[in-house]
Protein backbone atom coordinates (compact mmCIF):
# COMPACT_ATOMS: atom_id res chain seq x y z
CA UNK A 1 0.00 0.00 0.00
CA UNK A 2 1.47 3.29 -1.13
CA UNK A 3 0.66 6.08 1.36
CA UNK A 4 2.39 8.90 -0.53
CA UNK A 5 1.41 9.56 -4.15
CA UNK A 6 4.31 9.53 -6.58
CA UNK A 7 3.69 13.09 -7.74
CA UNK A 8 4.31 14.53 -4.25
CA UNK A 9 7.81 15.95 -3.87
CA UNK A 10 10.05 15.33 -0.89
CA UNK A 11 9.92 19.00 0.07
CA UNK A 12 6.11 18.85 0.24
CA UNK A 13 6.26 15.83 2.55
CA UNK A 14 8.86 17.50 4.79
CA UNK A 15 6.79 20.70 4.88
CA UNK A 16 3.68 18.71 5.86
CA UNK A 17 5.58 16.92 8.64
CA UNK A 18 7.03 20.15 10.03
CA UNK A 19 3.75 22.06 9.97
CA UNK A 20 1.94 19.19 11.68
CA UNK A 21 4.24 19.17 14.71
CA UNK A 22 4.76 22.19 17.01
CA UNK A 23 8.02 20.66 18.24
CA UNK A 24 9.43 20.42 14.71
CA UNK A 25 8.33 24.00 14.04
CA UNK A 26 10.33 25.21 17.05
CA UNK A 27 13.35 23.15 15.98
CA UNK A 28 13.19 24.58 12.46
CA UNK A 29 12.84 28.14 13.76
CA UNK A 30 15.88 27.72 16.00
CA UNK A 31 17.96 26.17 13.22
CA UNK A 32 17.11 29.05 10.89
CA UNK A 33 17.86 31.58 13.65
CA UNK A 34 21.23 30.02 14.49
CA UNK A 35 22.20 29.76 10.81
CA UNK A 36 21.28 33.41 10.26
CA UNK A 37 23.24 34.45 13.34
CA UNK A 38 26.32 32.51 12.24
CA UNK A 39 26.11 33.99 8.75
CA UNK A 40 25.95 37.52 10.15
CA UNK A 41 28.84 36.87 12.54
CA UNK A 42 30.99 35.55 9.69
CA UNK A 43 30.00 38.49 7.52
CA UNK A 44 30.95 40.95 10.27
CA UNK A 45 34.22 39.12 10.99
CA UNK A 46 35.36 39.12 7.36
CA UNK A 47 33.96 42.53 6.47
CA UNK A 48 37.44 44.08 6.29
CA UNK A 49 38.66 41.29 4.03
CA UNK A 50 35.75 41.79 1.65
CA UNK A 51 36.53 45.49 1.39
CA UNK A 52 40.27 45.02 0.72
CA UNK A 53 40.02 42.09 -1.73
CA UNK A 54 39.31 44.24 -4.81
CA UNK A 55 42.24 46.52 -3.86
CA UNK A 56 44.63 43.57 -3.54
CA UNK A 57 43.48 42.18 -6.87
CA UNK A 58 44.24 45.40 -8.71
CA UNK A 59 48.03 45.13 -8.29
Please indicate whether residue 33 or residue 18 has the higher confidence score (pLDDT).
Answer: 33
pLDDT in tens, 10-29: 788 888 888 888 898 898 89
CB 24 within 8 A of CB 17: yes
Confidence (pLDDT) at 53: 58
16 three-class SS: helix
Q: Kindly report the backbone phi and psi dihedral angles of residue 36, in degrees, each rounded to the nearest multiple of 5, phi listed first.
A: -65, -45
The pTM for the full model equals 0.55
Instruction: Identify the pLDDT of residue 31.
Output: 92
Average pLDDT over all residues of the chain:
77
Domain edges within the chain: 17-54
Say whether 8 sits in a helix, a strand or coil: coil
pLDDT higher than threshold 80 for residue 46: no
Amino acid sequence: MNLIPLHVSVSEVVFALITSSPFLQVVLERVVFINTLLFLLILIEFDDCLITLPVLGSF
